[in-house]
Chain A
Amino acid sequence: MKKNISICLALFLAATCIRVQAQDKKNNTEYSKGFIGINGGYSSLMGNITKANNYLDNSQGFAVKGGPVLSLDGAYFFNKHIGAGLVVSIANYGVAGQNILSEGYVEAFAVDEVTMTVGSYKTLNILPAFYYSLPMNNLHIDFRLMVGYSSLTTPAIKVQLEDATDTPFIQNKSTGGGLGYGLGAGLRYKFGRHIGAALRIDYINSKPNVDVTYTNLNNPTEGLFRKVTKYNESIGSVNASLGLTFNF
């Protein structure tokens, strides 16, 4: 279904591109050649990565369902409507279900107390984008199709067991990448010749391959201990952001 939508959208954009190029030649209309923007907002995470109810299910990521996102984007327009650009975004998500994780470690090691310290998940997307823009005076409605590289960084999890506080084990912070792609829509408003604001919503999907390593983990009991050595789950995110643009 997603594939069909993408193909239809691409065909529509290509057809529009040809038609608009012809019109532009005829009208010789002045238009903004491009923009660079900085956006900040909220990213909503989807997929198994946000599940956090089963300590022993390694597909569950225990990531919080939302977090801050920052993106830099820019595009160069070949004509009034068609452009190419780049979207770079970084998002940060906390760890959910921390009690479930630490209770799992208590049970796995049969200790009286566990102290667990966790970092956070990070995603990075570097996505070249194909833009289709509809200018209406100072307002532009942008659509963009993105394909590129996405990475996921899983958090470091340090676990201190009551009977071995001097030798905590650590599930190391680990990063892996893979193909990322997405669709986006947005509004860009020019306040002056160069400055404007943008409101954007992007959907990005990826399946990064993360190899997870441990430090000082000494042969835990299988079936009782959550040992994630590889994380390769499909991750979706909807990023809603507001930003400033510099138009040229």
Chain B
Amino acid sequence: MFKKSNTRLAALAITATAIMMLSIASCKKEEKTVTPAPPGNEFLTTTILTAINTAAPFDTSIAIWRDLTPDDTNPPDTSQAILNLKKNATYKVTIGLLDETTTPAGDIGEDVLARANYHLFCFFPSASLSPNLTVVRTDLDSNNPPLQVGLKNNFITTNVSTGLLEVVLRHQPNVKNGSCDPGSIDLDINFTINIIN
């Protein structure tokens, strides 16, 4: 009698231990890690638009937007942020991005190109410029299907006019879909565009 109940007790103890240990082994909490970007990140201080007339390659124009104090100590230098384009023409326009807080200047454009799958340039001409300037992005990333980037573009002009062109670089990690909406803003600056005779 004693032996029988002892055996049952032992069997019960083993079963209970098994259930308890199985619970311990199978339940493990998730772990969370929050990691900020390492210090010493590069700054995007300088944006250069280089425009070359496709019909007349000697017709080039360069516009430079520069802000050497990214902490907003001083306002940006927009004195050279002016692009003069001839009417009824098509220009190949490339965008260069630099960090001029270092010597030599860092090429941020290379970083954007390396991560083209997460970046998109968006162009917004002002009301006065809008009917006479069309921007077409000509470069593609390695997304499937490929999506436009905007480091290389065609600027197509029609009539004489003047206005501002807002250039926005969107950072769209894992959410790029071809539109300007997703993501955050890496760059948002204005260039003056003169379409002349």
Contact = CB atoms under 8 A, between A and B. Distances in A.
B118 A119 contact: no
Interface in B87-129: 111, 114-118
Contacts of B142: 219, 221-222
Contacts of B21: 38, 40, 70
Contact of B36 (A40, A112, A195, A219): A112
B17 interface: yes
Contacts, number: 138
Nearest to B31: A118
Chain A residues touching B, range = 35 or more
Interface residues of B, number: 44
Interface stretch (A18-26, A99-107, A136-144, A180-188): A99-107
Contacts of A224: 114-115
B173 A111 contact: yes
Interface string A148-182: 00000000000001111001010000000000000
B13 A244 contact: yes
A218 B175 contact: yes
Contacts of A114: 34-35
A109 B31 contact: no
Main secondary structure of the interface of B (DSSP, over half): mixed
B111 A110 contact: yes
A49 interface: no
A230 interface: no
B22 A110 contact: no
A90 B37 contact: no
Contacts of B17: 38, 40, 244
Interface stretch (B4-12, B48-56, B74-82, B156-164): B4-12
Closest 7 pairs (CB-CB, A-B): A102-B35, A109-B173, A70-B25, A219-B143, A163-B184, A120-B28, A98-B33
Interface of A: 36, 38, 40, 68-70, 72, 90-92, 94-95, 98-99, 101-103, 105-106, 109-120, 122, 161-164, 167, 169, 192-195, 216-222, 224, 244, 246
16 contacts: A68-B24, A92-B25, A99-B35, A109-B115, A110-B115, A110-B118, A112-B37, A117-B31, A118-B30, A119-B30, A164-B182, A167-B174, A218-B174, A220-B117, A220-B174, A246-B11
